[in-house]
C-alpha cells in the first residue's frame, strides 16, 4: 500500500515549499526568538531574490559562491552595503536551512560544505572606571527623569544586560531586597542577574518618585498638545540609546558610547579584576565562550604586572 502522506511530503522540492516550514521549525522545535526568525526570513528571502524559486537539489557550491558575490555587491534601499559579518549571518541561515532538509532526508547540499568568510574581529570599546562615574554623575537626580536615567545607566553597567533585555523589565521582575533576578536572553536561555548596591539604590530612588501604576520598570510620560491626560509608556531600545548618547555628551566623553558599551564595560571590569572567563560567560549569557574571549586581550590582569616586571626600563 502506498503511503500518500509520505509521497506528498517528498513531492515538495522547491525552495518556497520548505521555507515556511523551516521558519516554523526554528521557532517551535528549536525555540529560536522571534527576532532570530525575522532575521532568518530576511536572509533566506534574499537567497530567493538571488536564485529564484529553484529546486533545493539544485543548490550547490557554485550557486552559493555566486550568491556570496551578489551579497558582497548588494545595496539596500537606503544605499547601505551588507557587511562581511552580516554576509556570514546569511550563510549561517542557509546552512541551518540545509540542515533542516537533511533531517527530513531531503536531498540537498551538505551544510558543512559552506564555509564562512573570515571577518575582522570588531574592536571592543569600553569605559574605564572614571568614565563610568562621569556618565552617572551627568544625570541630574533632582528630578524624576534624571533619577530614571541614572537608574538605567547604573543597571546596564551593574548587570551587563542587553538593551533589549532592559526594556522588557517590569517592576516585579527584580528583587531589590535580594539584589538579583533571572532574565531570559538570546536563544530563550535563562541566566541569573545580580545588581550592585549602587544600582539598587538608584532604582529605589527612582521608583520612590513614580506615581503611576504602570508595570514597566522604565517608562516615559507624554501628553498630546492641548490635552491634560498623561500617557505612560515603556521606554524603547531607541530611547535608551538616545539617553546614553545624551549623557555621553554631557560627561564630555569622546568615545562612541552605546548601551552595549556599558555591557562591554561590565565584562572588562569583571575580567580586569580577576573574574574567570566561564563565570563572565554565564553572566553575559553567551552561548559560546569564544564570544566572551574577545575581552581577554584587553583585560588580562596579569599582563600589566608582567610588562612592568620584565620590560626593560
Q: How confident is the model at residue 119 (pLDDT cuts 50, 70, 90)?
A: low
Exactly one of 68, 191, 250, 260 is catalytic; name it: 260
Exactly one of 40, 43, 100, 295 is catalytic; name it: 295
Question: What is the pLDDT, as a whole number, of residue 97?
Answer: 96
Residues 129-307: name the CATH superfamily: Intergrase catalytic core (1.10.443.10)
Question: What is the pLDDT, as a whole number, of residue 7?
Answer: 42
Separation of alpha carbons 220 and 207, rounded Å? 13
Active site residue 74: no
Q: How confident is the model at residue 8 (pLDDT cuts 50, 70, 90)?
A: very low
9, pLDDT greater than 70: no
Question: What is the pLDDT, as a whole number, of residue 183?
Answer: 86
15, pLDDT greater than 50: yes
110-137 average pLDDT score: 85
Q: Which grid cell sits at 18? A: 520548505
Task: Read off the pLDDT of residues 214-266 as tens digits, 9 standing for 90 and up.
Answer: 999 999 987 666 666 778 999 999 999 999 999 999 999 999 999 999 999 99
pTM of the model: 0.64
Exactly one of 84, 186, 191, 234 is catalytic; name it: 186
Exactly one of 46, 95, 200, 263 is catalytic; name it: 263
Question: What is the pLDDT, as a whole number, of residue 16?
Answer: 93
Active site residue 256: no
Exactly one of 95, 162, 200, 264 is catalytic; name it: 162
Separation of alpha carbons 220 and 243, rounded Å? 12
CATH topology for 4-113? DNA polymerase; domain 1 (1.10.150)
Task: Give me the residue spans of the domains in the chain.
Answer: 4-113, 129-307
199, pLDDT greater than 70: yes
Active site residue 260: yes
Question: What is the pLDDT, as a whole number, of residue 229?
Answer: 75
Same fold, 4-113 and 129-307: no
Exactly one of 46, 95, 264, 286 is catalytic; name it: 286
Active site residue 162: yes
Mean model confidence pLDDT for the chain: 86
Amino acid at each position: 500500500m502506498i503511503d500518500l502522506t509520505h509521497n506528498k511530503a517528498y513531492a515538495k522540492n522547491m525552495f518556497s515549499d520548505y521555507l515556511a516550514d523551516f521558519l516554523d521549525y526554528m521557532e517551535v522545535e528549536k525555540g529560536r526568538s522571534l527576532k532570530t526568525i525575522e532575521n532568518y526570513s530576511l536572509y533566506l528571502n534574499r537567497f530567493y531574490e538571488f536564485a529564484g524559486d529553484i529546486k533545493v537539489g539544485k543548490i550547490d557550491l557554485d550557486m552559493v559562491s555566486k550568491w556570496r558575490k551578489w551579497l558582497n555587491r548588494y545595496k539596500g534601499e537606503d544605499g547601505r552595503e551588507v557587511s562581511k559579518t552580516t554576509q556570514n549571518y546569511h550563510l549561517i541561515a542557509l546552512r541551518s536551512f540545509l540542515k533542516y532538509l537533511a533531517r527530513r532526508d531531503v536531498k540537498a547540499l551538505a551544510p558543512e560544505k559552506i564555509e564562512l568568510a573570515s571577518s575582522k574581529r570588531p574592536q571592543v570599546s569600553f569605559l574605564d572606571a572614571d568614565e563610568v562615574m562621569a556618565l552617572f554623575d551627568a544625570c541630574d537626580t533632582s528630578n524624576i527623569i534624571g533619577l530614571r536615567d541614572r537608574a538605567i545607566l547604573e543597571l546596564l553597567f551593574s548587570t551587563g544586560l542587553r538593551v533589549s533585555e532592559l526594556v522588557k523589565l517590569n517592576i516585579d521582575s527584580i528583587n531589590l531586597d535580594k539584589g538579583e533576578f533571572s532574565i531570559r536572553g538570546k536563544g530563550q536561555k535563562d541566566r541569573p542577574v545580580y545588581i550592585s548596591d549602587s544600582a539598587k539604590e538608584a532604582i529605589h530612588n527612582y521608583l520612590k518618585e513614580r506615581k503611576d501604576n504602570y508595570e514597566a520598570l522604565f517608562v516615559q510620560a507624554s501628553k498630546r498638545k492641548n490635552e491634560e491626560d498623561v500617557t505612560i509608556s515603556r521606554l524603547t531600545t531607541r530611547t535608551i540609546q538616545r539617553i546614553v548618547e545624551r549623557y555621553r555628551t554631557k560627561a564630555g566623553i569622546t568615545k562612541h558610547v552605546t548601551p552595549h558599551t556599558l555591557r562591554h564595560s561590565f565584562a572588562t571590569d569583571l575580567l580586569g579584576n580577576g573574574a574567570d572567563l566561564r563565570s563572565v560567560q554565564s553572566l553575559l549569557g553567551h552561548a559560546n565562550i569564544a564570544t566572551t574571549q574577545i575581552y581577554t586581550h584587553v583585560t588580562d590582569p596579569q599582563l600589566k604586572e608582567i610588562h612592568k616586571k620584565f620590560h626593560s626600563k
